[in-house]
């Protein structure tokens, strides 16, 4: 029963081919920009800084902002 599994050794894992950094770079820039915009609205908008008037964004993300550890009010 078990011998069938044991008899066939797993192929040695092939050395992983790294992705060229030149291919990663533009995606890294894109991901960083998207992340900065999203994180800004979750963490800072209508707190330390405000692009829009009022407190709606602040109040809407209020609990998430507190629980993710960002200073709120």
Q: Is 3 or 69 the residue whose CB approaches another protein more closely?
A: 69
User: Contacting another protein (CB under 8 A), which of 28, 50, 51, 52?
Assistant: 28
Query: What is the DSSP code string of the chain?
Result: --HHHHHSPPPPPPPPPPPPHHHHHHHHHHHHHHHHHHHHHHHTBTTTB-SSSSSHHHHHSHHHHHHTT----
User: Contacting another protein (CB under 8 A), which of 2, 9, 15, 53?
Assistant: 15
Binding-site ranges for another protein (CB under 8 A): 10-11, 13-19, 21, 23-24, 27-28, 30-32, 34-36, 38-39, 41-44, 47-49, 54-56, 59-73
């Amino acid at each position: 029963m078990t011998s069938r599994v044991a008899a066939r050794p797993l192929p040695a894992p092939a050395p992983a081919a790294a992705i060229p950094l030149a291919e990663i770079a533009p995606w890294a820039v894109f991901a960083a920009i998207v992340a900065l915009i999203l994180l800004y609205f979750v963490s800072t908008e209508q707190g330390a800084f405000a692009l829009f008037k009022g407190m709606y964004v602040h109040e809407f993300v209020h609990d998430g902002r507190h629980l993710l550890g960002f200073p709120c009010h």
